[in-house]
Chains A and B, each alone.
Chain A
Amino acid sequence: MAKKRQPPVEKASVQLLVNDVEITVPEGTTLLEAAKEAGTEVPHYCYHPELSSPAQCRLCLVEVEGAPKLVPSCTTTVAEGQVVKTDSESATKMRQGVLEFYLVNHPLDCPICDQSGECDLQDFVFSEGRKHGRSKAAKRVIGRDDFGGDILFYGDRCVMCTRCVRFMEEMEQKPILTVVERGNRAVIDTFFEQGLEEAEWAGNVVDICPVGALVSKDFLYKARAWDLEHTPSICPNCSMGCNIEIHTRDNLVQRFKPRKNIEVNGSWICDYGRGGYEWLNQGGRIEKPTMKDTHEPGNGTQEPFGWEDLLRGLGARLKESAESVDVIASPVSSNEDLGAVLGLLKALGGGKILYRCPTSAEEVKLPGKEGLRRTNQLAPNVDGLKILGAVNVGDGSGAGGLEDIGASNSTVLVLGDRLEDQKDGFAENAGLLVYLGSHASQALSQADYILPITTYVEQEGTFVSSGGRVQRFSKGLEGPHAARPAWSILNELTNIISGSSDGDNVEEAFQKLSRISDAFTGLSYEDIGPEGVQLDAVAKKD
């Protein structure tokens, strides 16, 4: 029966010696976590910091002076003055023996297994296992099982750590997976016909499976783990702001993996977010900045220009014509983009920012973690837009709400929103229509200026999550050669119009937000760090 770990109640400290390194940890810490403090990673399978510890994989056994047998470090708590050795002869021999047993029935699937390159079994055996196996008996075969949804199960590879069973039971609280049979025939299975189709967080079992037993159908045979480049980022599919890693190869996104952030999403992301990466690979990009040839109205040809001439011309037109600018922003725009828009509006004499956002009627909660859910707002920076004064319009599906835009002689700036719901010739009566977009838009094909911008994954910046947390994302892909982040274009325009000389880097673009909005006062880009910062905490600090 798995023991549920109790979080440490008091902050009393305990001092002990791990591998000759003296450390001090709070009471109630397990030896495995204490070893991490001492800089040692103890190999383990069934233990996961956010799940219960059944101590059944027997891989994390360490030697404690005075104890008659090796103890499992994932469940044994620290005691004052303990002397712990994780690499003593008995501990290493035990690990070697346990690994040998795991390999007795393990299929030689490395060349075809998705987990190769990020497989715990491979890593542990390479560093601590035997050189050759000794068993000559035939291996037990279980075969492949489709668990429904996105999950495939290769039974031969399973090491029976039961992390998947415990995740579904404790975290999602839908106990769909279980262990059936026993002894050598034990295997993970679902109950009769019910599979993982209805589970909305099931993709996480693929992440926590230490071997290639549970794999994602979507990622099957797609790319090798060592070919992938990892980029820390934020999930763009709802406003929860789960921290993810974007894995890319050949300048295409291959998958999303969760990045650990205890305060936001723990080690989990929902299936909706996980599966929503294809739109980042879409083609149909705007390759070059173009300007409609105004000498021959109606001709509609767009001449490609160099950035300098074009922005100077645009800046001049904006200065002379615009009193008030209507901006249609996208909820995927970063805070820096929005800050640059506000800076431009200030230089021109004001305007308003509208946005439409697709929403969903329900939230998808993860019961095992307080507060973690797929929110109603299906875009990452809705809260950033709210804080900076943008107005939500539309019918809740990302469409509509733009009837008042495009009056004659008005100036319209569209930032990122492709206006897929609008007819061709949107705002054709407007005095000046500028489209800063990543992808070509049918409705805006006749805009006066079409300027290519990078998508959020091709630039760095920040989003504000629904919990009021500002979090950084990094650049993972290369956009088209001429594409620039929207804040870079808009800040340069502001420099041209108002004569300022703000630098062209993301730190200064973020500083602008500090000047514009109280919510960001006192915060600098460097302060944010890889795990983000709560905005109210910053405000309280001053």
Chain B
Amino acid sequence: MTTQRTIELPQPNMESGNMLVNIGPQHPATHGVLRLLCELDGETVIKIDPDIGYLHSSFEKLGEYRTWNQIIPLTDRMDYLAPLMYNCVYVMAVEKLMGLEVTERCKIVRVLCMEMERIFSHLLWLGTTAIDVGAFTPFLYAFQERERIYKLHEAFTGARITTSATRVGGMMADLPEGWTDQLKDFVYTFPDTLDEIENLLTRNGIHLGRTQGIGCIPADEAINAGFTGPNLRASGVDYDLRKDRPYYDYESYEFDVPVGTKGDCYDRYLVRMEEMRQSLKILDQALARLPDGRINVDDPRVSLPSKTDCMNDMESMIHHFKIVTEGIRVPPGDCYFAVEGSKGELGMYVVSDGGEKPIRWRVRPPSFVNLSVLPQLAEGHQVSDLIMINASLDIVLGEIDR
């Protein structure tokens, strides 16, 4: 069996003079409501204990009391920096459990949404990490670009952050006219801004000094610690769900997956910057192959019939009524489905017993596991490096605490 190990938690010590300091829960540098309880010896971090739960909203419990489609608004509140990603992965998990195949157009629209969200999330990471280091300008540039994506969100779904754009079997509505043109415009003009930001940071001596050699983690330790996504790839492990467990025809898109070598903050920075460029490539290809056709699956037991049908045809009326009042039925079983989220492997585990509500809805949040590695990375470094490492992990407290 296992041997009993204990973990020593931070504690102050009058003789050695170690201090116990709270960073957070309200602190601009923690990227959310996160409390880091640190034992410091001067500026050096001896031990850290991250304390989470300040944003806990019992989403998983709420999910057990809602029908399958009613859970979708809960999903965008979790990772509010990439809401469409969460919307997509949730309905993809439910559709897999139902054995439902969505239309071609829907698949490509969802790919567009997911890649757009990847850029969206990485831009925020870029801006806030830069500003933690002290570079103010990239923050403004990044957020200016994010505004353009906010506008795309709003045009498509009506909301900037709380998009709730997907439904089981399709999307809430089809793309509005001119949306793809605006997205194309973004895809073609964004690389210029990205180049400008790279100019400011990638070979900047201060930035290099703050990030190189900080928070290193070798590949095997990274796998053991549960890292996924850009954090894992920066350590040299080539694990990307789009290549290793492909979904929605990702194997037919041409793109590369950047992999680092040393696993320090600088490599994580480089990996994410390159990922944004690769996402642009995917967006370009997807926009080129976007077909016309239905966006929702043609099954009135899953997707709502059109209003005209509903008012003229008895069967459609009945199906509409039952879907709205009772909800769709998902056959019994359980399904774990994951996509390559912007922060790592974003997985949903749904368990159904044949009814309209899930028995269990588990969100596997990448930031939760990524944050758990923080003590391992930051102990022994200075406090300012701790801030840098925390920023380089790219966490969002909404999905950690759920």
Contact = CB atoms under 8 A, between A and B. Distances in A.
Q: Do chains A and B touch in the complex (CB under 8 A)?
A: yes
Interface of A: 100, 103-104, 106, 108, 110-111, 116-117, 121-123, 125-126, 129-133, 224, 226
Interface string B316-343: 1111011001100000000000000000
B202 to A, nearest CB: 56
B51 interface: no
B313 A126 contact: no
Contacts of A130: 315
Contacts of A116: 321, 325
A132 B299 CA distance: 10
A129 B325 contact: no
Nearest to B328: A126
A93 to B, nearest CB: 16
B318 A129 contact: yes
Nearest to A104: B314
Given A126-B301, A131-B300, A132-B309, A108 B325 contact: no
Q: Which 6 A-B residue pairings sit nearest by Cβ, starting from the closest?
A: A103-B314, A126-B322, A110-B321, A108-B317, A125-B318, A133-B315
B311 interface: yes
A299 to B, nearest CB: 51
Contacts of A100: 315
A507 B116 CA distance: 61
Given A131-B300, A133-B316, 8 more contacts: A103-B318, A106-B314, A108-B311, A121-B318, A126-B319, A132-B300, A132-B309, A133-B315
Contacts of A110: 317-318, 321
B346 to A, nearest CB: 33
A130 B299 CA distance: 10
A130 B319 CA distance: 10
A150 to B, nearest CB: 26
Contacts of A131: 298-301, 315, 319
Nearest to A135: B314
Contacts of B309: 132
A450 to B, nearest CB: 39
Contacts of B325: 116-117, 224, 226
Contacts of B301: 126, 131
Interface string B157-181: 0000000000000000000000000
B313 A132 contact: yes
6 contacts: A104-B314, A106-B314, A108-B311, A108-B317, A116-B321, A123-B322
B310 to A, nearest CB: 8
A226 B326 contact: yes
Contacts of B321: 110-111, 116, 122
Given A131-B299, A131-B300, A108 B314 contact: yes
Which of the listed residues A103, A106, A126 has the most CB atoms from chain B within 10 Å of its own CB?
A126
Nearest to B300: A131
Q: Choose among A108, A116, A129 the residue with the greatest number of B CB atoms under 10 Å from its CB.
A: A108
A126 B299 CA distance: 11
A223 to B, nearest CB: 13
Given A117-B325, A126-B301, A226-B325, A133 B313 contact: yes
A106 B316 CA distance: 12
Contacts of A111: 321
A126 B319 CA distance: 6
B100 to A, nearest CB: 15
Nearest to B322: A126
B318 A132 contact: no
A84 to B, nearest CB: 23
Nearest to B315: A133
A448 B312 CA distance: 67
A274 B161 CA distance: 51
B304 to A, nearest CB: 13
A5 B205 CA distance: 94
A108 B312 CA distance: 8
A110 B315 CA distance: 11
A133 B319 contact: no
A324 B309 CA distance: 75
A116 B300 CA distance: 18
A123 B318 CA distance: 9
A103 B326 CA distance: 21
A103 B315 contact: yes
